[in-house]
Amino acid sequence: MSAEAAFDALGDPVRRRIMELLGEGERPAGAVAAALGERLAAQGRGGISQPAVSQHLKVLREAGLVTVRAEGTRRVYGVDEEGLAAVRAWLERFADAFAGPLDALETELARGRRERRLAERPGRGREGTGRRGAA
């Protein structure tokens, strides 16, 4: 499973909704189709057929994001944790790119809070800057 295949599969909004549903727990294809139809209807969009959902599940399975197991005559789908781990590993490459700017933002926010606290204290204005004998 490659992260590229996973992101290609997740490029479709219907597949992302399916992943959200499966993130809540395993479901047979029919239950996925019914729940997805309800979500789409709530958004004012049309329903989706079970064959269409089955095609989306196939794409997600081939991308390594979904598992399938037989349960009698039904096929039960769930999230493939190994596939998600590959996606997480790909995304972690970029975590350090955000760490520095986020740390700097945190420092600036703390500095601003400190300056506001000091400015709100009685008797602390510009005169209380620590200059002695400047009168």
Distance of CA 111 to the CA centre of its chain: 30
Indicate whether 30 and 52 sit together in one domain.
yes
pLDDT at residue 114, as a whole number: 86
- 121 versus 18: the higher-pLDDT residue is 18
Residue 131 placed within a domain: no
- 56 versus 2: the higher-pLDDT residue is 56
pLDDT at 132 over 80: no
Q: What is the edge-to-edge ordering of all strands in the sheet holding 74-79?
A: 27-28, 74-79, 66-71
Residue 109 placed within a domain: yes
Please say whether the dihedral angle defined by the alpha carbons of residues 81, 72, 36 and 33, taken in this order, is positive or negative: positive
Indicate whether 12 and 71 sit together in one domain.
yes
User: Distance between CA atoms of 128 and 112, rounded to whole angstroms?
Assistant: 18
Ranking 23-27, 80-84, 130-134 by mean pLDDT, the lowest is 130-134
Unique residue bearing structure tokens 């290609």: 8
**Degrees (nearest 5) of the Cα angle 27, 36, 51?**
80
Indicate whether 57 and 100 sit together in one domain.
no
Indicate whether 73 and 111 sit together in one domain.
no
Indicate whether 25 and 78 sit together in one domain.
yes
Residue 100 placed within a domain: yes
Indicate whether 72 and 100 sit together in one domain.
no
Q: What total of structural domains would you count in the chain?
A: 2
Residue 130 placed within a domain: no
109 — pLDDT class (breaks 50, 70, 90) = confident
Ranking 73-87, 106-120, 121-135 by mean pLDDT, the lowest is 121-135
Write out pLDDT tens, residues 58-69. Answer: 999 999 999 999
pTM of the full structure? 0.67
Indicate whether 66 and 109 sit together in one domain.
no
